[in-house]
Amino acid sequence: MKRLGLLIMCFAALAMTSCSALSSAASSNTVASASGQACGVAVQNLYSAYHNTGKVDLTNANNLNNALALATCYTNLKQNKDDQSYRKAFTSGLIASSAGLITSANASAFVDKLLATAGLSNINTQNIAQTATTAATIISLLNALKQ
């Protein structure tokens, strides 16, 4: 009888640990997907502005907000670059929210290009409009999506 009680307690502890680990992974994937979605929206908006005007005008408040969102998503992705589950969820969110600009066919290459775009790590609310290379960094990233 005591063994049965001990066995039940062990299974309960194992179940709680497993649920906690699954919950943590699901939570991470939710965060990654949300970050990917934010990135997809920002990229799509910046690409549209760039495609229409031929430049990324950082005096425009919408472009400024999208550039900051892109930099934030880049930072989140960079911090989790070795987590394949995070990267997969991020990519799924990116594809889902980019209005067809980023597809299954070009998503992996775009995420690789995004991770390689080091200039995004220097963008923040204090320096974004003054950084001469900010627009060039973003344009380089957007040129990877030329259609």
Tens of each residue's pLDDT in the chain, 147 residues: 555 444 444 344 444 444 444 334 445 689 999 999 999 999 999 999 999 999 888 888 898 889 889 989 999 999 999 999 999 999 999 999 999 999 999 999 999 999 998 778 777 667 665 555 678 888 888 888 865
* Residue 13, domain member (yes or no): no
pLDDT, residue 20, reads: 41
* Residue 22, domain member (yes or no): no
CA–CA dist 9, 66 (Å, integer): 51
Our count of domains for the chain comes to 1
Q: What does pTM read for this prediction?
A: 0.76
* Residue 138, domain member (yes or no): yes
* Residue 17, domain member (yes or no): no
* Residue 20, domain member (yes or no): no
CB 69 within 8 A of CB 38: yes
* Residue 41, domain member (yes or no): yes
* Residue 23, domain member (yes or no): no
Host domain of residue 82: 31-143
Neighbouring CB atoms inside 10 A of 100's CB total 8
* Residue 4, domain member (yes or no): no
DSSP-assigned states of every residue in 19-61: HHHHHHHHHHHHHHHHHHHHHHHHHHHHHHHHHHHSS--TTSH
